[in-house]
């Protein structure tokens, strides 16, 4: 969709989502407001099982659903990225309940099939900027943390103002490979990943002829990580991730990034690390997805 006069465009997959819903027999299903309920990811996980479901091998059915959802998530539906990432942890041993969760994401898409990545033409100098977050020990099964990154290209924004929608560059949600031993540990690795992503994007923008004469802000809601990004604060409990801290400070010294504090409720990357209630989900989705209509 495009409106040249108003300088607006939107990338969406409405036709693909309709095909998926038809294939799953859910064309006229009842929609739901959010992709996945917060209680699902934090409560005791149900027993897994490979019992048949409607004539299907339940694991194969689940894998088919995840594959279709993943295609939408990585193309232009980052609002379901965490839900798909979470469900992906059950691809080898899913049961009927996990299939129900996946169909819940489809019901969310059914009610938002016309949503996509909206881009509005802006005036003034544009900046590459990011938010990062981590859900410490968020995986009930493994105690590993989930990290999330949101990077955008647009005017420098006020994180508390979700109406300042930006042009999405990167959105990631991933389960950290190793178990973090503290919130600071997991948040530091998320900030480090965001810093590396921003540095790469700055190099790309420079090659395309952009004038990158500023330090890109990375918003983080962990005050300890923000302090460590500016100066070394020695304490024995943090020595096992001091290399990541040093790398962040190095990028700061190079004027490539600057880590800034942000309130937990204003961190857009939160949508990529945990299942959110309606109010926070809608707030972060507005910035993540951009304007759905011309401004």
**Number of structural domains in the chain:** 2
Tell me the C-alpha distance between 176 and 138, whole Å.
Answer: 10
Select from 218, 213, 120, 102 the least CA-distant residue to 170: 218
CATH number of the domain that residue 211 is part of: 3.30.420.10
94 plus 142 within the same structural domain: no
40 plus 100 within the same structural domain: yes
User: How do residues 198-238 score in pLDDT, each as one tens digit?
Assistant: 999 999 889 988 888 999 999 999 998 999 898 887 666 67
Listed residues 84, 101, 116: the one ending a domain: 116
95 plus 163 within the same structural domain: no
Listed residues 53, 81, 116: the one ending a domain: 116
Residue 46 within any structural domain of the chain: yes
Tell me the C-alpha distance between 293 and 295, whole Å.
Answer: 6
Q: What is the pTM of this model?
A: 0.89
Highest mean pLDDT among 45-59, 127-141, 149-163, 231-245: 127-141
The range of the structural domain enclosing residue 191 comes to 122-289
83 plus 136 within the same structural domain: no
95 plus 240 within the same structural domain: no
101 plus 45 within the same structural domain: yes
Residue 104 within any structural domain of the chain: yes
160 plus 225 within the same structural domain: yes
71 plus 192 within the same structural domain: no
User: How do residues 14-63 score in pLDDT, each as one tens digit?
Assistant: 999 999 999 999 999 999 999 999 988 876 666 665 565 565 688 888 99
pLDDT given for residue 178 in this prediction: 83
Listed residues 85, 116, 147: the one ending a domain: 116
pLDDT given for residue 125 in this prediction: 79
Select from 89, 79, 75 the least CA-distant residue to 16: 75
Name the percent of the chain lying above pLDDT 90.
55
7 plus 45 within the same structural domain: yes
106 plus 129 within the same structural domain: no
89 plus 171 within the same structural domain: no
């Amino acid at each position: 969709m495009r409106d040249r006069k108003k300088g607006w465009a939107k990338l969406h997959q409405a036709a693909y989502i309709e095909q998926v819903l038809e294939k799953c027999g859910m064309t006229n299903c009842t929609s739901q407001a959010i992709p996945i309920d917060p209680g699902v990811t934090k409560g005791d996980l149900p027993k897994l099982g490979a019992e048949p479901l409607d004539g299907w091998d339940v694991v194969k059915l689940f894998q088919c659903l995840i594959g279709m959802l993943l295609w939408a998530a990585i193309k232009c539906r980052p609002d379901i990225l965490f839900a798909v990432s979470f469900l992906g942890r059950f691809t080898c041993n899913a049961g009927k309940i996990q299939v129900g969760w996946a169909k819940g994401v489809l019901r969310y898409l059914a009610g938002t099939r016309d949503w996509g990545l909206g881009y509005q033409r802006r005036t003034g100098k544009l900046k590459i900027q990011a938010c990062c977050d981590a859900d410490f020990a968020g995986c009930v099964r493994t105690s590993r943390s989930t990290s999330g990154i949101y990077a955008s290209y647009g005017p420098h924004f006020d994180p508390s103002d979700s109406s300042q929608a930006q042009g999405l560059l990167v959105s990631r949600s991933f389960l950290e490979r190793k178990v973090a031993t503290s919130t600071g540990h997991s948040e530091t690795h998320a900030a480090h990943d965001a810093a590396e992503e921003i540095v790469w994007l700055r190099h790309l923008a420079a090659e395309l002829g952009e004038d990158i004469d500023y330090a890109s802000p990375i918003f983080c809601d962990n005050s300890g990580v923000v302090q460590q990004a500016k100066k070394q604060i020695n304490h024995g409990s943090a020595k096992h991730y001091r290399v990541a801290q040093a790398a962040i400070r190095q990028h700061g010294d190079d004027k490539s990034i600057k880590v800034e504090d942000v309130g937990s409720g204003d961190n857009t990357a939160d949508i990529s690390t945990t299942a959110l209630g309606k109010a926070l989900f809608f707030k972060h989705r507005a910035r993540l997805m951009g304007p759905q209509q011309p401004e």
